[in-house]
Structure 1
C-alpha cells in the first residue's frame, strides 16, 4: 500500500536566515502556529531535536499530543522530521525545504503518512485535513515571519 502524500508551500518575503531561525525554533511554535498549545523540547543532539507537541484542547477537553524528531540541515536548506509517537498514524514523515526565489523564501512541506487501520479517519480524509490545515498554518507563518522581518525582530515572532 502506497503512502498518502501532501505537498504545500508558501513564499515568505523575508531573509532566509530569519525564516530558517523562526521556523526551526520548536520551543516557539505555539507563537508561530495556531494549532499548538505546547511545544516541549525533550532533547537536542547537534542538528537533531526531539520534542512533544500538544494541540489546543478539543471542546470535550481531549488534548492530542505526540513526540516528533527533526533533523535540520541548514546548509542544504531542508529539514526531515518524523513522528516518534505515531498515534493514529502507522507513520508520519515530513520534509521541509527552503528555496530562495525572487519574491522571498519558498517554504514547502511534503508529508508522507499512512493511517492505522483502526484510526477514526482514513488516508484520504487525513490528506484533506492536512491540506486544509497546512494552508492556514503556512499563511500564519508567512504573516508572522514577515512582520518580524519588518520589525527587525531577529528571531522573535511578531504577534
Structure 2
C-alpha cells in the first residue's frame, strides 16, 4: 500500500512572489508553523539539499530529516524527495504553480509509503498529512498575500 496526498490553494499574489517565497528554503520556519529549522546543506546541479527540523514533541524529541529539492522555474514545478527517509520507505513531493485569474493555484502532491512495523500505517498518515498540508497551505496563502499587499502599498 502507499499514501497519496494532493492539495491545492489559490493565492492572490503574483507568480514571481509566490515562487520566490515558497522556494526560499532557509525562510521556511517563518512560512510554515511546523518547522523550527531549515538549513541548506548543499546546492548542486540545480538541486538544494537541506535539513528540516520540527518543533520538539511534548517529550522533547525533535524530528529532522534531509531532503533534496529541484525547482524548475521554466515550468514552475518542483520535485523533491527525502534523502533521509526516517519512518517512510520513501517520500516524494511535487509542487506545481499555475497562473489563475485571481493569482496562482499552488498544488502540493505527496506520495509515500510508511516502513512496516510502525504504529502509524499509510492510511493513518495520509489522513494526518492531508489535514496538516491544508493547514500549511492556508498559512502560506496568508503570508504570501500579506507580502503582496505590502509590496503593492510601497509602489
Q: TM-score range by the shorter chain?
A: over 0.9
Q: Name structure 2 gaps, 5 residues minimum.
A: none
Shift of 1:46: 4.0
Q: Which residue of structure 2 aligns with residue 60 of structure 1?
A: 59
Within 5 Å, which residues of 2 pair with 1:63-74?
63-74=62-73
Contact 1:32 1:144 in 2 (8 A): yes
TM, length-normalised to structure 1:
0.93
Which whole-Å CA distance do the structure 2 matches of 1:71 and 1:91 have between them?
A: 17
Which whole-Å CA distance do the structure 2 matches of 1:149 and 1:129 have between them?
A: 30
Which whole-Å CA distance do the structure 1 matches of 2:118 and 2:89 have between them?
A: 9
Q: Which residue of structure 2 aligns with residue 21 of structure 1?
A: 20
Which whole-Å CA distance do the structure 2 matches of 1:60 and 1:112 have between them?
A: 29
Which whole-Å CA distance do the structure 1 matches of 2:45 and 2:16 have between them?
A: 18
Q: Could you list the per-position Cα deviations for residues 54-99 of structure 1 after superposition, in whole angstroms to 9, with x for gaps in the alignment? A: 0000110000000000000010010000000000000000000000
Which whole-Å CA distance do the structure 1 matches of 2:47 and 2:40 have between them?
A: 11
RMSD: 1.0
Which whole-Å CA distance do the structure 1 matches of 2:76 and 2:61 have between them?
A: 36
Which whole-Å CA distance do the structure 1 matches of 2:120 and 2:130 have between them?
A: 15
Q: Which residue of structure 1 aligns with residue 101 of structure 2?
A: 102
Which whole-Å CA distance do the structure 2 matches of 1:126 and 1:60 have between them?
A: 21
Q: Name structure 1 gaps, 5 residues minimum.
A: 154-159
SS at match of 1:150: helix
